[in-house]
Amino acid sequence: MSTRERLIASTRELLWERGYVGTSPRAVLQRADVGQGSMYHHFSGKQDLALAAIRRTADELRAQAEAQFAAPGTAVARITAYLRRERDVLKGCPIGRLTQDPDVMADPALRAPVDETFDWLRHRLTTVLAEGRDAGELNAAMDPAKTASTVVAVLQGGYVLARAADSTEPFEHAVTGVLELLACQAATPSR
């Protein structure tokens, strides 16, 4: 791994663990096992490095989600695969956790990839749900955009509940609950 990549990887880990304020240049350099000049050779400073790390995390999360959303199967099956995929639940969502970081939310550049990721996720879920509705799999009265926002809210809330309880059980219950709600939206076969 190149020095630049080690710096980004270390920053990603530290942002997830400590947030922006707790991610000092010194901690990044120690974790990446590089000298001080390396950071400033590749990045203009902490914000530039953090932005690269947040963008990388956002890109990876979107790619992982897209793998489930673009897979064959019903809309509910694809959303189920997305919600049930392996996650480090007790660490929380690496993008969602940044919404609780006042320094990230106050900085338009750092906030942009967070906003873009949630916008993309809601849009992509809306598209999958609309496909299911249009194919007759889901109730025609279901609003795909509102349902997509509900799915995202339940997922992010599940992370919060799991961290608060120091148990994955609340997350698992939240995911199961939203999937049961989606199952209730199954279209009634016409007679």
Host H or E run for residue 63: helix 46-69
Residue pair 127/135 in contact by the 8 Å Cβ criterion: no
Mean pLDDT value of segment 10-27: 92
Q: Tens of pLDDT along 73-88? A: 999 999 999 999 999 9
User: In Å, how far from its chain's centre is CA 176?
Assistant: 18
Q: Which residues pair with 101 in a beta bridge?
A: none
Q: Tens of pLDDT along 30-44? A: 999 998 888 888 998
Is pTM beyond 0.85? Reply is yes
**Cβ neighbours of residue 57 closer than 8 Å, sequence gap 6 or more:** 12, 15, 16, 94, 95, 113
Domains, the chain: 58-184 (1.10.357.10)
Instruction: Check pLDDT > 80 for residue 187.
Output: no
CA distance 69 to 164: 29
CA distance 80 to 84: 6
